[in-house]
Amino acid sequence: MTVRPERVHGLGRGLSTLIPQRSPGQPGPTDVAIDRIRANPHQPRRHFDEAEMATLTESIREHGVLQPILVTETIDGYQLVAGERRVRAARTAGLERIPAIIRVLDEQAQLEVALIENLQREDLDAIEAAQGFRRLIDEFGFSPEQIAARVGRARSTVANTIRLLELAPSVQSAVGDRRITEGHGRALGGLSVDHQDHVLGTVIEQDLSVRQTEELVRRLREPRPVAPDTPAEPTSRTDPDLERVEEDLRRALGTKVSLARSRRGGRIVIEYYNDEDLGRLYDRLTGGNA
């Protein structure tokens, strides 16, 4: 499943309102020693694409660092606020110094700047953004409304992003790795955490769209129908082996499957949503052979 990162538009106040601007008499960027720069503990980004980092490293080897990083001064050097990719690539490229803008920023501003810079560059996945929002709430007492104003997103968008942290760890990982989208994650959130793992495999293996995932979740949450013309055995609904077979069939076919036993055997009922869904099931059951 190829997942394109969801694009962010109009990020609120922007970095210029969070970073104190220098007066005409203040110095501009200055070169600082890379080995004196400590990592940003408030960096919301945790994953760095190796191919992108390799490209950036080669660019820095050839052209140098074209955009200064942002740091704040500490007793024994500097603490990085924004520009971790540039610092990592410059270090790999063998540079000893890097251009930097030095500003005085408190911890809250450091987290805000790092979060907004990554959102503007679309460098954060949805889980990293959710974790950044959660930190603003837990550590600095922000409300979802205040975060929405800071980053230029609707309050509902911020709230929905934060709710991704309630998903099963495997689903969070899939969203973070962009194997599924944030929309898939929200759809899977309609299931209990225990069931999300099983359905996640179906979504990825069958490359289901968000709409198909929502429909699958809806059908799995519906009560199982009892066929009136086929009396089921009293123990069929509590038979763990039968329920395990149903669950395996649902995962394999990506749709609701019901088993009903009768005195002479039983029936398998496979549901589909529309003609497209029927075609998908046909290909699945026949192996794609006409």
Residues with a known catalytic role: 84
Beta bridge partners of 72: 79
Contacts 24+ apart (CB under 8 A), 24-32: 28/101, 29/68, 29/99, 29/100, 29/101, 30/99, 30/100, 30/102, 31/97, 31/98, 31/99, 31/100, 32/71, 32/78, 32/97, 32/98, 32/100, 32/102
Dist CA 28 CA 105 (whole Å): 17
Q: How far is CA 191 from the centre of its chain?
A: 18
Find out whether 48 and 88 touch, Cβ atoms under 8 Å: yes
Find out whether 148 and 154 touch, Cβ atoms under 8 Å: yes
Q: Which two tokens stand for residue 105?
A: 């920023």
Strand 97-102 versus strand 30-33 pairing type: antiparallel
Residue 256: Cβ-neighbour burial (10 angstroms; 0-12, 13-18, 19+): buried
Q: What are phi and psi of 220, to 5 degrees?
A: -70, -25
Dist CA 175 CA 180 (whole Å): 5
